[in-house]
Amino acid sequence: MTKPPEILAKLFGYRFDDPGLLKQALVHRSAGSRNNERLEFLGDAVLGCVIAEQVFARHPGAREGELSRMRSTLVRRESLAELANGLDIGVYLRLGPGERKSGGHHRQSILADAFEAVLGAIYLDGGFEPCRRAIVALFAEKLDAVADLEQLKDPKTRLQEYLQSQRQPLPEYEVIDIAGESHAQSFRVRCSVSDVDIEPTVGQAKSRRRAEQDAAGKMLARLGAG
């Protein structure tokens, strides 16, 4: 049984003049045609704007690429789902029977979308400033923590930059195995660096890109640069 959405509104630090907007923000598309997809679209845009403004103000010495990495780290699905879990958004959601049975209340994509939809609902109900205040409050800890610009770079980027700084050849990645069915594949990727007396590393993940990142991270650690 879902909780009354008014409780969730308090967790966002907001009181709705039109409670119907909040209720719609918590309806997944599997539960009906009047769902939260449009509100999620709006909330995503407002969230990106506010987070961009925050990192811009907090890091006056950061370059454009560094600001982009900070923003991407803060608004990625995993980050939003983590915040949504902290607010227990899953218990407020209305899902169709199929999504309920498959555990949709805990699915990262559904939680992240609902989080953004609530922000979109706040924006429509009260305007930009109340929505901005809610975002800044909810992201306060994450905004404070996103200070190490170097760690925002993915392992492949950091490995490439490290090797360039040492005037070494760029790393090479090779898929050495793909296992599992098409909907649940597992990739193994080898990362090697020529002219460096270090054994190649092997990364494994559910996508080639993540397997390459895993292998690059292991190579960084092996080089003592992780």
* Cα Rg, the chain, nearest whole Å: 21
Residue 203 corresponds to which amino acid? G
Specify the pLDDT at position 158: 85
214 an active-site residue? no
Q: String of b and e for 177-194 (b: at least 16 CB within 10 Å)?
A: eeeeeeeeeebbbbbbbe
| 8 A C-beta contact, residue 43 and residue 121 | yes
Specify the pLDDT at position 32: 87
- At the topology level, CATH places domain 155-222 in Double Stranded RNA Binding Domain (3.30.160)
Domain range summary for the chain, segments of one domain joined by +? 5-146, 155-222
Q: String of b and e for 135-151 (b: at least 16 CB within 10 Å)?
A: beebbeebbeebeebee
Class of domain 5-146: mainly alpha
List the beta bridge partners of residue 204. Answer: 188
Specify the pLDDT at position 1: 47
- Residue 201 Cα distances to 96, 152, 165, 189, angstroms: 44, 22, 20, 8
Residue 200 corresponds to which amino acid? P
Place of tokens 């390459």: 212
φ, ψ (nearest 5 deg) of residue 44: -60, -45
| Mean pLDDT in order along the chain per 10 residues (226 residues) | 82 96 95 94 98 94 84 92 95 90 89 97 98 97 76 81 88 94 87 88 93 94 82
- Tell me which of 40, 44, 99, 113 is the catalytic residue: 44
| 8 A C-beta contact, residue 123 and residue 38 | no
44 an active-site residue? yes
- Tell me which of 99, 116, 212, 214 is the catalytic residue: 116
